[in-house]
Amino acid sequence: MSSSIKIESVVKEKNRMGECPVWEERESALVYVDINSQKVCRWSPLTNEVQSVSVDARVSSVALRQCGGYVIALGTRFAFLDWDTQAVTTILELEQNKPNNRFNDGKVDPKGRFFAGTMAEETAPGVRARRQGALYTLFPDHSVIKQLDQVDISNGLDWSLDHRTFFHIDSLAYAVHAFSYDVHTGKIACPKLLYHLEKEEQMPDGMCIDAEGKLWVACIDGGRVIRIDPETGKRIQTVRLPTPRITSCCFGGKDYSEMYVTSAYDGLDETTLAKEPHAGEIFKVSRFPFFPYIRPAKPRA
């Protein structure tokens, strides 16, 4: 079946490092973070207004709470964010022995646990300590376990539709890995390589899954999202975006048939930035016939 793709820039307010988009049904809005501006943001397609809450550290990921508000990963701590009061309540601080680390991408699993991983910051352009990161799980009772260690840049993550497989990206491995996943305990095991990015695809960043069980991976500096079939380990589609630093993606909108894609302008020099007027914007990708959509898990964090 043939299909046509429509790409629109819908959030013109530019993000230094837009990341971790998630659609919030109760607000009919897209929630996301600007890591380097230390802001959690919410965009309404009805009003085209962007609201934001500033926090005291780089905030890398956000997820919805059943009771309202959000759980966030900022600096090296998990916290709750009350949108109305802008209050941030720390749940737990981790990796206090690694002052150069911070959290990165995060997402809620099918049982409402919040998975988020860490990474070492650069000490100079292109220079960072290797294998300093980890992947953690925050349970609804606020306990935390470490799932992975010696990670470089813990990044995109999601779960298969049958809840038996966990997918994870360590960006500096330039690959997507699949793990066995126990939905009852939240534990992961038995990693295997699923897909290694090709040179022109550059580095993998955020990731989401569609209703056909296919993965969509954002390629930072590759200017695209790619669709991967986990059954075959093959790339089956490429959607190119009008700016290079593509960071993450999610499905949203009234029936979750639209893909929202975040981007960044940090990391582009002045000459390149002058040629990239859309850097840092957020894009809506529509497909006709529609994308195979999937509603995200209901978080209990």
Per-residue pLDDT tens digits for 27-58: 999 999 999 999 999 999 999 999 999 999 99
The residues near 244 (Cβ < 8 Å, ≥ 6 apart) are 220, 221, 222, 223, 268, 272, 276, 279
Q: Give φ, ψ of 25 to 5 degrees.
A: -60, -45
Work out the number of other CB atoms within 10 angstroms of the CB of residue 151. Answer: 25
pLDDT category of residue 297 using cuts at 50, 70 and 90: low
Q: CB of 138 within 8 A of CB of 301? A: yes
Check whether 270 is labelled as a binding-site residue: no
The Cα 157–Cα 150 span in angstroms is 17
Enter the tokens of residue 199.
Answer: 């040179």
Check whether 205 is labelled as a binding-site residue: yes
Check whether 300 is labelled as a binding-site residue: no
pLDDT in tens, 146-164: 999 999 999 999 999 999 9
Enter the tokens of residue 23.
Answer: 């659609």
Distances (CA, A) of 281 to 22, 81, 248: 16, 24, 12
Using the Cα atoms of residue 119, residue 121, residue 127 and residue 130 in order, give the sign of their dihedral: negative
The Cα 60–Cα 57 span in angstroms is 9
pLDDT in tens, 207-265: 999 989 999 999 999 999 999 999 999 999 999 999 999 999 999 998 898 999 999 99
What single-letter amino acid sits at 222? G
pLDDT in tens, 96-124: 999 999 999 999 999 999 999 999 999 88
Enter the tokens of residue 32.
Answer: 């996301």
Q: How many residues does the chain have?
A: 301
Check whether 19 is labelled as a binding-site residue: yes
Q: CB of 162 within 8 A of CB of 176? A: no
Distances (CA, A) of 12 to 6, 57, 93, 194, 271: 17, 24, 34, 35, 20
Catalytic residue, chosen from 158, 205, 210, 269, is 205
Instruction: Give me the half-sphere count of Cα atoms (radius 13 Å) on the Cβ side of residue 52.
Output: 17
- Verify whether residue 34 is a known catalytic residue: no
- One-character DSSP codes across 63-79: EE-TTSSEEEEETTEEE
pLDDT category of residue 1 using cuts at 50, 70 and 90: very low
Q: 191-196: long-range contacts at Cβ-Cβ below 8 A with a sequence spacing of 24 or more?
A: 193/233, 194/167, 194/228, 194/230, 194/233, 195/228, 195/233, 195/234, 195/235
